[in-house]
Chain A
Amino acid sequence: MSERAAPAGPSALAPWLATIAAYVVPLGFVLAPMALFLVYSFFSVDHGSIVFSPTIANYVRFFTDPVFLPIFWRTCLLCFTVALLCVLFAFPVAYFLTTLRGRSRYMLLVLLLVPLLMSYVIKIYAVRSILGGNGMLNRALLATGLIDKPSMLFVFNLNAVLLTLTVLLIPFAVLPIFLSLERIPKALRHASADLGATNAQTFWRVTVPLSLPGTLSAMSFVFVLAIGDFLTPQMVGGQSGFTFGRIIYSQFGTAFNWPFGAALSVILAAVVILAIRLGGRLESKHGGAK
């Protein structure tokens, strides 16, 4: 550890030793597994054992089988909706935060950060206890007389997954939006007011466009977190709430088809990279304009 820790010393060998030491873990435990994973997606399974000869059969299966592609699109749509909902909830919160000053702003920010570090499975469990057939939401709706028997609209199906993911991921959307709102120079808003714009006009024509990069990166961020999740659909999705992540997970459990699971994950990774690039690209484009 010490030769890596020390800034390169006078000896000519030291920088090389440091380089080797710095690369060992990232290459050995991140890049190598990821590369192996890609290779595995070109293998196949025969009678419960893995056949190590290259084939594109897994990818062909994904694109031709009537099961996987619809679930894939449905999951993408679900996660996009989650991202949209999260941003709709997060934007007012982030905006409200920017109107606060000093201690109250700091406190509210911390209160928003705390759920980020809270156990993910516990949050799913808590939301499930609200959503269930006998859960708080149904009981509240019954008590107010809005419905006369428990609604099954959000009990162990895709809607439950949608609602749970939205509640879980809102805090992740607040931060990027808050940061982009905070970066808007006050002078721009003052200038807009000086030129006779009303508050609403300033909001829609100055603040919202300038916060767009943060909003879009929040969306891509939430989308990525939602699409990779397999715990939420497993816990609240029931029989009908099958998502792409859940199918991948089952390939490594009950279905036992690791190469096919690897191929599905490669497709997932491609979607994730696309979403990150889309979020980041728009951010740099809009960021450059201001």
Chain B
Amino acid sequence: MRFADRAAPALLITLTLFVFVLLYGPLMVPIVSSFFTVSHGAVDWSQPTTSAYVALTQNDSVLSALWTTLIVGAGAVVLSVALGTGLALYYASPHAKGRNFLQFIIFLPFLMPPIITGLALLIFFRQVEFERSLLTIIIGHTVFVLALVYRTILTRLQSLSGSLVEASYDLGASSWQTFRLILLPNLSSAMVGAAILAFALSFDETMITLLVTGTQSTLPVRLWAMMRLGFTPDINALVALVLLFTTVLCLVAVRYLMPASAISGSDDN
């Protein structure tokens, strides 16, 4: 047993390191390769170059996909934060009807595989003769990220003391004043954190987008189409940039949410 007690921590560290290599190692391949040229399927390691990055700035299909992604992300963030805040306040209000049923519906697109959410929306849009467009992507993303935004804001709302709101009413504030002056300032950091998370999720969303998009491609959809053709420096450069961007986004979101709600928020699943 003595030996086991001493060997166990070493084994733990080794396994943890191995998992980190599994998680991050593969990502290094495209990042490093993006600085070299590829010819005949093999990377030419002789001289590093940033030509792939320069080429990206002239790639119209990538730039327009980036633009689409940003519009979709902004739309989904605005809609989901507004809706999520409203729904969280409704859930917490004493007049709410069918709370748990409503919450169940909100969670559905997050619990169900994206292929189901995407297909359901696809059939729905077709049935109500709603042309597939940028708007359908925004709706798809909003429905998808709403659960997370709602949950994050509700968690913060429930951690606030009820006496804050009562005091505000006692001092004669209207419900609008209470919302604007008491609740909103207390919820704002959760809202910002949720907005960043929502944007990050929307930025990467591929499965629902593939199903509900018309002719537009978002960046992941564009990447998906490019990747099926092979392993090239321009894909690698784009991959490196996207990874950099999402990592920064994630670290910023963590700063807003980490200590209290991020951990308990992910507990629901």
Which chain A residues have a beta carbon within 8 Å of chain B's beta carbons? 1-2, 4-9, 15, 18-19, 21-23, 25-27, 29-34, 36-37, 40, 89-90, 92-93, 95-96, 99, 106, 108, 110-123, 125-127, 129-130, 134, 136, 167, 170-171, 175-176, 179, 198-200, 217, 221, 224-225, 227-231, 235, 245, 248-249, 252, 258, 261-262, 265, 268-269, 272, 276
Contact = CB atoms under 8 A, between A and B. Distances in A.
A115 B242 contact: no
Given A33-B120, A125-B239, A224-B113, A92 B16 contact: yes
Interface in B173-211: 174-176, 178-179, 197, 200-201, 203-204, 206-207, 211
B171 interface: no
Given A129-B30, A167-B26, A248 B204 contact: no
Given A117-B201, A121-B220, A167-B23, A22 B87 contact: yes
B227 A114 contact: no
Given A7-B175, A119-B220, A245 B123 contact: no
Given A130-B25, A167-B22, 8 more contacts: A21-B86, A108-B16, A110-B251, A111-B20, A118-B27, A119-B204, A129-B26, A261-B119
Given A198-B1, A272-B113, A9 B83 contact: no
A268 B33 CA distance: 38
A217 B266 CA distance: 12
B16 A117 contact: no
Q: Is the interface of B mostly helix, strand, loop or mixed?
A: helix
13 contacts: A5-B179, A7-B175, A29-B139, A29-B143, A89-B19, A117-B250, A118-B27, A170-B22, A198-B4, A199-B8, A228-B114, A262-B119, A268-B115
Given A8-B93, A99-B12, A123-B26, A117 B204 contact: yes
Given A92-B12, A115-B23, A125-B239, A252 B165 contact: no
Interface of B: 1, 4-5, 8-9, 11-13, 15-16, 18-20, 22-27, 29-30, 33, 41-42, 82-83, 85-87, 89-90, 93-97, 102, 105-106, 108-109, 111-116, 119-124, 127, 139, 142-143, 146, 165, 174-176, 178-179, 197, 200-201, 203-204, 206-207, 211, 220, 223-224, 227-228, 231, 235, 239, 242-243, 246-247, 249-251, 253-254, 258, 262-263, 266-267, 269
Q: Is the interface of A mostly helix, strand, loop or mixed?
A: helix
